[in-house]
A and B are shown apart, each in its own frame.
Chain A
Amino acid sequence: MADQTPLFKQCINIIQSEIKTAQIKPIEQPNYIIKDTFLKECFELYQILTNLNQFINEIKLNYLALNDDKGLSTIEKDNIDEELQVKIQQTYKKLTYLENYESKRNELINKHSNWTSIFGGKSDQSIYFETLSSHRNAMLKFLMECVNYVNSKFTNIQNKRHVRERQINSLNFQNIDEEEEEMDDVQITNLESLEVERSGESYFSQEQLQELETENKEFLHMKTNQLKQVEKVQQSIMDIINIQNELSFKLQSQGDQISNLIDVHSQVEMEVKSGNKQLNQATKKNKRSANLLVMLCFILGILLVIIDYIKFI
């Protein structure tokens, strides 16, 4: 690879200093060129995405750090989760909005071009619209991929965090009973105080006391189990949300493909229709010209007869 730009610029400078070229005004673009903010908006979206990506890259270490002192606190992490989720959803919305805009624009043009396509073959305009729509579709696809990438990156680190947290919790679970006791401290103390009160009033035998104790333990055990299950359900819900997200991507991309197919289909249909029209026109023209030819022959024949008659006279 060799950069020839400096040499090229040098050449241009030399030539321009020799020949004073008048600054030529830019050529006016044909009026069918679409001027809208599509490109700008796409660009902004892309910038948002790159920023998000950068942000994820930056926080990744702190976010994944388990120790609250070093990294971010759990609340902060949750906040980040929420906000990123919202942001990503927003980009999705924006993207679908752009897609809708583009498809509507295409529809409009197609309606319009139905009129123009009657007049002859492919005009510059139709080529322009074709390339523009493929260009924009590719842009949208590109953005879609970006969003998917950012989203998967985010869910990845989110998952990692949850897994780590779960691991830590499970470590804590080994002494879960203590923790639970702590958690249910108030209740337990209440119970105990109740017991104490009751024991003050009524005289329980040692056996009864023991029974009550085992019962209490069972309750406690059940409770911790319940808590665990709740935790699991919570986890499941999180996972389901993720799956939903993923499925929605898949659906979206499938939808893209389907709409692509529909586009192709409608294009083929249009072409077939216009082809039929052309064929009809051609047959009509042929008929007319054949008639004309016959008429001409007839007239010429009569003329010949007349001339012959005149000459004969």
Chain B
Amino acid sequence: METATSSSSLRDLQISKLEKMLHLNKDGSPDLTLASKSEEIIWKVLILDSKSTQILSSILRVNDLLKCGITVHSLINSKRSNLPDVSVIYFIEPTIENIQIIIEDLKNDKYDSFFINFTSSINRSLLEEFAKSVSLIGKSHKIKQVYDQYLNYITTESNLFSINQPQIYYKFNSNTTSENEIHNLVNLISDGLLSLIISMDVIPIIRAQQNGPAEFVAKELDMKLREYLNNKTSTSQSTFTQRPVLILLDRNFDLSSMFSHSWIYQCMVNDVFQLRRNTIKLIKTNKDGKEIIKNYDVDPKDFFWSKYSQLPFPDVVENADFELNLYKQDAKEITNRTGISNLNDIDPNSNSTANIQQAVEKLPELTNRKSVLDMHMDILSNLINELQAKNLDKYFEIEQNTANTDSIKIQKEFLEILQSNSEKDSSLDKLRTFIILNLVVDIPKEYINKVTSIFKESYPSLDLAPLNYILKFKENSKLNITNIAIDANSQSNSHFSNESSSALLSGLSSKLYGLTEGKISEGLSSIASRIKNFIPEKKLTALTHIVESIMNPQGSNNRYLNITDDYLYLDPKSRGHSTKPKRQQYNDSIVFVVGGGNYLEYQNLQEWKQEQINKNISGGGNVIKSVTYGSTEILSPLEFLNECGRLGEN
């Protein structure tokens, strides 16, 4: 087994593991089309279940599968036909139903030889049961491999993963959930984390927030890891490398980041459209008011996405323009060299056939680039339209300034926005901003009443349940959480002069709308570059502060140190009771939020990491190599709003 190199990203790791599985768990290059050695089995059928489809589909496309020799892939519970001369790979959850289907397939001689892979690990009794039924049929020779893959998590970005357990926040915070259910959920979550840890091949130190789901998960995971370590026969673990830290947090520690509007391209796409497992669902309204739904796939090979998704939106517009010009230049160069419009252009000395050949070679790459660019142009122009229709920038502006401008002024501004109308229904955006306002600053009762009455008047259909929940939530935890949030904001915002930034921001909206008038590609760069100056300085989210104080205790703020000192300290490797927590530096970390995560926090963490690396290059300091962010589910703000709404109803 290869040891995890912390430099390679989580996504690369998972892709290589999956490809190895498709290569029948053998070593060597999984891309069979490039192979120079003949294999015994080339063409295989892949059988998936719903869970493994999600894991696979977010990183591998059909063409990638074909290169690994997968000709047909189908769901395990769909009706499949016999292919007696083809081998089969199963990649499924270890459940009794799935095992029964396999046995049924085996009985009917559906395929030639069977390679069975489980998403997590199969427990002993089930395996024995399986073996028993197989040997009763008398076809045990057909089963060539049984593997536990421990791949029970979904990675969409290079360092972002999700365990895909929906509605966790609701379930953990609702009082209707039974204890048994909670226990099951904790079990599922810790299973997912165990998968992740095993496939990264590290044994981390666990730090977890106390008194909440995070603590349960941490303890469960600790137990499971100990069990795993006991069962592991060979301890080939290299002890020299520094162990990473796993930071487990409750969603409750910072709710505001779940609701906030953001300028980051990826976050905006997720907010305004839908970004699910690397598929962007674009909803356009054409002139007749009809909605057209378009699906775009973004994958690791999408150069534009991987390069610019983490940048603020205006920067992305600028870069899109730049890339488009670059493409145009390349295309022009090729046509100039090969296409002849006029007899005088014929250069008797040039070797024109060679040029044509070059052009032919380059064309696929160019068309590919063009299609990617077209896709992002479409997304961007739609984003601008939505932005304009909903006045999204205003909300962003207010949310940015909540903590540092004095609250009365902000409240006034918010009232103004609340009463203004936009082209499209933006009631939910207003509600989100108001929730953040509530979370971050103390607002007088009369003001809340006033706002709710306005909400009820102008948007009778709007469900105010989420707000009710947030108000209750704030009431309950006034002492703990709000303080952190306020600290986070006041801390980071002190970096830049608030007054000028708010003035600049208000100018931004009017400038931005100028963009949509003309075509997006025309003359955009100049405007975009001006906009760039208006973007406020990056600030760290509460999550990033906590990660910083754990990973680099020397360089961080005392307030957060006090908070994180109370966190649970569990070391699965140590015998007996874990030692007293101490402040220590870590190079690698896995951050996991129980109850939903978002792209904003992910991007914020990655940015912080990059900053640390840069600092490191420039001289001294703690070496921070990787920060992996994960959650039970990656949610869009609206989805989280719905969850809170359900909580508010109870």
Question: Closest CB-CB distance, B215 to chain A, in whole Å?
Answer: 29
Question: Closest CB-CB distance, A26 to chain B, in whole Å?
Answer: 6
Residues of A80-129 at the interface with B, using a CB-CB cut-off of 8 Å, are 124, 127-128
The contact of B81 among A57, A130, A139, by CB within 8 Å, is A130
Contact between chains at B84 and A142 (CB < 8 Å): no
Contact between chains at A127 and B79 (CB < 8 Å): yes
Residue of A nearest to B145 (CB): A5
Given contacts A4-B147, A239-B357, 13 further A-B contacts (CB under 8 A): A21-B138, A22-B138, A53-B35, A128-B82, A138-B43, A138-B71, A139-B43, A142-B32, A142-B33, A142-B42, A145-B33, A149-B33, A243-B353
Contact between chains at B82 and A135 (CB < 8 Å): no
Contact between chains at B45 and A135 (CB < 8 Å): yes
Interface string of B60-77 (1 = CB under 8 A from A): 000000110111101000
Cα distance A22–B138 in the bound complex, in angstroms = 7
Query: How many A-B contacts are there with CB distance less than 8 Å?
Result: 159
Contact between chains at A232 and B351 (CB < 8 Å): yes
If the complex has contacts A11-B128, A12-B135, are A243 and B71 also in contact, measured as CB distance less than 8 A? no
Contact between chains at A11 and B35 (CB < 8 Å): no
The contact of A24 among B25, B32, B138, B149, by CB within 8 Å, is B138
Cα distance A3–B20 in the bound complex, in angstroms = 13
Q: Is B98 interfacial (CB-CB < 8 Å)?
A: no
Q: Is A313 interfacial (CB-CB < 8 Å)?
A: no
Interface string of B581-614 (1 = CB under 8 A from A): 0000000000000000000000000000000000
Cα distance A236–B583 in the bound complex, in angstroms = 71
If the complex has contacts A8-B143, A33-B82, A135-B83, are A236 and B71 also in contact, measured as CB distance less than 8 A? no
Residue of A nearest to B148 (CB): A2
Residues of B86-108 at the interface with A, using a CB-CB cut-off of 8 Å, are 86, 107-108
Cα distance A146–B149 in the bound complex, in angstroms = 29
Contact between chains at A16 and B71 (CB < 8 Å): no
Interface string of A1-29 (1 = CB under 8 A from B): 11111011101100110010111101101
Contact between chains at A27 and B81 (CB < 8 Å): no
If the complex has contacts A47-B38, A135-B45, are A19 and B136 also in contact, measured as CB distance less than 8 A? yes
Q: Is A132 interfacial (CB-CB < 8 Å)?
A: yes
Q: Is B343 interfacial (CB-CB < 8 Å)?
A: no
The contact of A50 among B36, B66, B132, B150, by CB within 8 Å, is B36
Q: Is B278 interfacial (CB-CB < 8 Å)?
A: no
Residue of A nearest to B129 (CB): A11
Interface string of A34-51 (1 = CB under 8 A from B): 000001001100110011
| Chain A residues bordering chain B, tally (CB within 8 A) | 57
Contact between chains at B34 and A54 (CB < 8 Å): no
With a cutoff of 8 Å between Cβ atoms, the chain A residues found around residue B109 in the complex are 26-27, 29
Cα distance A166–B144 in the bound complex, in angstroms = 54
Contact between chains at B33 and A57 (CB < 8 Å): no
Question: Closest CB-CB distance, A122 to chain B, in whole Å?
Answer: 8
With a cutoff of 8 Å between Cβ atoms, the chain B residues found around residue A16 in the complex are 135, 140
Residue of B nearest to A3 (CB): B147
With a cutoff of 8 Å between Cβ atoms, the chain B residues found around residue A146 in the complex are 32-33
The contact of A4 among B1, B71, B83, B122, by CB within 8 Å, is B122
With a cutoff of 8 Å between Cβ atoms, the chain B residues found around residue A243 in the complex are 353, 356-357, 360
Q: Is A193 interfacial (CB-CB < 8 Å)?
A: no
With a cutoff of 8 Å between Cβ atoms, the chain A residues found around residue B121 in the complex are 2
Residues of B483-540 at the interface with A, using a CB-CB cut-off of 8 Å, are none
The 7 closest A-B pairs by CB, nearest first: A11-B131, A138-B71, A239-B353, A128-B81, A236-B353, A53-B36, A54-B36
Cα distance A236–B79 in the bound complex, in angstroms = 56
Q: Is B134 interfacial (CB-CB < 8 Å)?
A: yes
The contact of B149 among A1, A51, A57, A136, by CB within 8 Å, is A1
Residue among A1, A12, A46, A232 facing the most chain B CB atoms (10 A cut-off)? A1
Q: Is A199 interfacial (CB-CB < 8 Å)?
A: no
With a cutoff of 8 Å between Cβ atoms, the chain B residues found around residue A51 in the complex are 38
The contact of A139 among B71, B84, B134, B354, by CB within 8 Å, is B71
What are 16 pairs between A and B in contact, CB < 8 Å?
A: A1-B198, A1-B199, A3-B145, A11-B131, A21-B138, A29-B84, A53-B34, A130-B81, A134-B71, A135-B45, A142-B67, A146-B32, A235-B351, A235-B354, A236-B351, A246-B357
Q: Is B127 interfacial (CB-CB < 8 Å)?
A: yes
Question: Closest CB-CB distance, A265 to chain B, in whole Å?
Answer: 21
With a cutoff of 8 Å between Cβ atoms, the chain A residues found around residue B80 in the complex are 127, 131
Q: Does more than half of chain B's interface fall in helix, strand or loop, or is it mixed?
A: mixed
Question: Closest CB-CB distance, A242 to chain B, in whole Å?
Answer: 6
Interface string of B222-244 (1 = CB under 8 A from A): 00000000000000000000000
The contact of B71 among A2, A5, A15, A142, by CB within 8 Å, is A142
Q: Is B326 interfacial (CB-CB < 8 Å)?
A: no
Residue among A132, A135, A236, A242 facing the most chain B CB atoms (10 A cut-off)? A135
Residue of A nearest to B2 (CB): A1
Q: Is B445 interfacial (CB-CB < 8 Å)?
A: no
With a cutoff of 8 Å between Cβ atoms, the chain A residues found around residue B462 in the complex are none
Q: Is B15 interfacial (CB-CB < 8 Å)?
A: no
Contact between chains at A5 and B17 (CB < 8 Å): no
Residue of B nearest to A240 (CB): B353
Question: Closest CB-CB distance, A87 to chain B, in whole Å?
Answer: 15
Residue of A nearest to B37 (CB): A50
Contact between chains at B86 and A27 (CB < 8 Å): no
Cα distance A29–B34 in the bound complex, in angstroms = 35
Residue of A nearest to B74 (CB): A131
Cα distance A33–B524 in the bound complex, in angstroms = 62
Residue of A nearest to B132 (CB): A15
With a cutoff of 8 Å between Cβ atoms, the chain A residues found around residue B43 in the complex are 39, 42, 135, 138-139, 142
Interface string of B341-373 (1 = CB under 8 A from A): 000000000011110110011000000000000
Residue of A nearest to B109 (CB): A27
With a cutoff of 8 Å between Cβ atoms, the chain A residues found around residue B130 in the complex are 8
Contact between chains at B138 and A23 (CB < 8 Å): yes
Contact between chains at B354 and A124 (CB < 8 Å): no
Question: Closest CB-CB distance, A127 to chain B, in whole Å?
Answer: 4
Contact between chains at B1 and A1 (CB < 8 Å): yes
The contact of A124 among B81, B139, B361, by CB within 8 Å, is B81
Cα distance A16–B121 in the bound complex, in angstroms = 24
Cα distance A26–B35 in the bound complex, in angstroms = 34
Q: Is A200 interfacial (CB-CB < 8 Å)?
A: no
Residues of A233-269 at the interface with B, using a CB-CB cut-off of 8 Å, are 235-236, 239-240, 242-243, 246-247
Question: Closest CB-CB distance, A119 to chain B, in whole Å?
Answer: 18
Contact between chains at A46 and B81 (CB < 8 Å): no
Residues of A149-185 at the interface with B, using a CB-CB cut-off of 8 Å, are 149
Cα distance A247–B364 in the bound complex, in angstroms = 12
If the complex has contacts A43-B42, A139-B43, A243-B357, are A3 and B81 also in contact, measured as CB distance less than 8 A? no
Q: Is A141 interfacial (CB-CB < 8 Å)?
A: yes
Contact between chains at A141 and B138 (CB < 8 Å): no
Residue of A nearest to B199 (CB): A1
The contact of A134 among B21, B72, B122, B137, by CB within 8 Å, is B72
Residue of A nearest to B21 (CB): A1
With a cutoff of 8 Å between Cβ atoms, the chain A residues found around residue B108 in the complex are 27
With a cutoff of 8 Å between Cβ atoms, the chain A residues found around residue B4 in the complex are none
Cα distance A242–B361 in the bound complex, in angstroms = 11
With a cutoff of 8 Å between Cβ atoms, the chain A residues found around residue B357 in the complex are 239, 242-243, 246
Residue among B36, B67, B107, B139 facing the most chain A CB atoms (10 A cut-off)? B36
If the complex has contacts A1-B149, A8-B146, A46-B38, are A239 and B354 also in contact, measured as CB distance less than 8 A? yes
Residue among A42, A53, A138 facing the most chain B CB atoms (10 A cut-off)? A138
With a cutoff of 8 Å between Cβ atoms, the chain B residues found around residue A131 in the complex are 72, 74, 80-81, 83
The contact of A8 among B67, B127, B136, B139, by CB within 8 Å, is B127
With a cutoff of 8 Å between Cβ atoms, the chain A residues found around residue B86 in the complex are 39, 135
